[in-house]
Amino acid sequence: MLYYRYWSRGFRRFLWFALAFILIALLVRLGGAAGFDRAVITFVQSMESPPLTALAKGLSLVGSSKLAIGISLVTILILFFALKHRLELVLFLWVGLGSQLLNTLLKQWFHRERPSFHRLIEQAGYSFPSGHSMAAFSLYGVIAYLLWRHMRNGSERVLLILFTVLMTGGIGWSRIYLGVHYPSDVIGGYAASGAWLMLSAACFEAYRNRQARKE
């Protein structure tokens, strides 16, 4: 049994992310996010310029499935062969694959069409929640979590969090800038992936604590 006291902190974080997603999803379903979405899109796209467009396309590529798979494979090889962290490898795969499946199910559930005004690139599929945002939050989030556990230097941890926030936030911004996602798609993606990551990490810590008690 995974006792509650071992994973209550992580579970509380899961609840906060889950509640945030439910709130955003309700706003999207009821049309309450329309004004916010249009205001943010107008502001972000008002800064359009060739350098920013190139940056947005580059960040969008970083968040694409092909590059995410490449980064995942490198991480898997390091965890399995170099560090021998087999249990952490299971967590990494669980978070990544689960996030992808969750995104697919949610898109099919909400059937939200993508923005139809001022697209800089074309993108197929449904809009809510953003797949790029969910993949970025899951991938860079779980890597940051695994690295954090082995870091003891405060400055290294600060740089790790800064890099994770900038990459995840930058990928979300790029999807709004390029006109293929509403801001609520991006925020909803972060919330959904955050909930999944927090729940997965909580169960991981609970299992490790339980194993440590047996030794």
pLDDT at 6 over 50: no
pTM: 0.88
Statement: residue 1 has pLDDT above 50: no
pLDDT over threshold 60, residue 57: yes
Neighbours of 202 (CB within 10 A): 20
Closest CA to 68 of 169, 141, 118: 141
Q: Is the pLDDT of residue 149 over 60?
A: yes
Single out the residue of 1, 3, 22 nearest to residue 195, CA to CA. 22
In which domain, by residue range, is 78 found?
Answer: 4-214
pLDDT confidence band for 150 (50 / 70 / 90): confident
Residue with the bigger pLDDT between 77 and 160: it is 160
Handedness of CA 126, 114, 26, 199 (dihedral sign): positive
Per the model's pLDDT, the better-predicted residue between 77 and 173 turns out to be 173
Distance CA 64, CA 59 (A): 9
| Residue 210 predicted with pLDDT over 80 | no
Query: What's the confidence (pLDDT) of residue 14?
Result: 93
Residue whose C-alpha is closest to residue 197's, from 160, 172, 168:
168
Mean pLDDT of the chain: 87
- Burial of 35 from C-beta contacts in 10 A (0-12 / 13-18 / 19+): exposed
Confidence (pLDDT) at 113: 92
Does residue 56 carry a pLDDT above 50? Answer: yes
10 confidence band (pLDDT: 50, 70, 90): confident
Percent of the chain exceeding pLDDT 90 equals 56
Identify the band that residue 125 occupies on the pLDDT scale cut at 50, 70 and 90: confident
**What is the token pair recorded at 49?**
């310029």
Q: What mean pLDDT do residues 122-150 have? A: 89
Give the C-alpha separation, 185 to 193, whole Å.
Answer: 12
- Hey, what are 39's tokens? 């205001």
- Return the residue matching tokens 């709004």: 176
Output the pLDDT for position 187: 97
Instruction: Output the pLDDT for position 7.
Output: 54
CA 114, CA 134: separation in Å to the nearest integer? Answer: 16
Is residue 10 within 8 A of residue 199, CB to CB? The reply is yes
**Does the pLDDT value for residue 214 go beyond 80?**
no
Does the pLDDT at position 36 exceed 70?
A: yes
Please answer whether residues 198 and 13 qualify as being in contact, where contact means their C-beta atoms are separated by less than 8 angstroms.
yes
How many structural domains is the chain composed of?
A: 1
Could you tell me if 173 and 58 are in contact, meaning their C-beta atoms sit under 8 angstroms apart? no
Quick check: 151 pLDDT over 80?
no
Any idea which of 56-60, 109-113, 147-151, 172-176 has the lowest mean pLDDT?
A: 147-151
